[in-house]
Amino acid sequence: ICALLFASLYILCHFIITHFKKHTDFAAVHDDEDAAVNRIALGLCTFTLAVALGAVLLLPFSIISNEVLLSFPQNYYIQWLNGSLIHGLWNLVFLFSNMSLVFLMPFAYFFTESEGFAGSKKGIMARVYETSVVLLLLTLLVLGMVWVASAIVGNDAASRQSLYDLWEYYLPYLYSCISLFGVLLLLLCTPFGLSIMFTVTGKLLVKPRLLEDLDEQLSCTRFEEAAVSHRI
Q: Write out pLDDT tens, residues 36-60.
A: 888 888 888 889 888 888 888 888 8
SS3 content of the chain, % helix, strand, coil (to 5): 85, 0, 15
The confidence band for 228, taking pLDDT boundaries of 50, 70 and 90, is very high
Closest CA to 181 of 146, 217, 153: 146
Per-residue confidence (pLDDT) for residue 103, from 0 to 100: 82
d(CA 146, CA 169): 12
Q: Would the pLDDT of 201 be above 50?
A: yes
65-75 burial by CB neighbour count: b if 16+ within 10 A, else e? Answer: beeeeeeeeee
Percent of the chain at pLDDT exceeding 70? 79
List Cβ<8 Å contacts ≥24 apart for 101-104: 101/175, 101/178, 102/139, 102/142, 102/171, 102/174, 103/135, 103/139, 104/44, 104/47, 104/48
Under 8 Å between Cβ of 116 and 127: yes
d(CA 110, CA 132): 9
In one-letter notation, the amino acid at residue 7 is A
Percent of the chain at pLDDT exceeding 90? 1
What does the pLDDT average to over 109-129?
79
Instruction: Give residues with Cβ within 8 angstroms of 224, minimum separation 6.
Output: none
Least confident of 27-31, 106-110, 197-201: 27-31
The confidence band for 26, taking pLDDT boundaries of 50, 70 and 90, is very low
Angle at 8 between CA 7 and CA 9, to 5 degrees: 90
Q: Tell which wins on pLDDT, 178 or 188.
A: 188
Closest CA to 44 of 135, 126, 108: 108
Under 8 Å between Cβ of 97 and 55: yes
d(CA 170, CA 146): 9
207 secondary structure, DSSP code: P
pTM (2 decimals)? 0.62
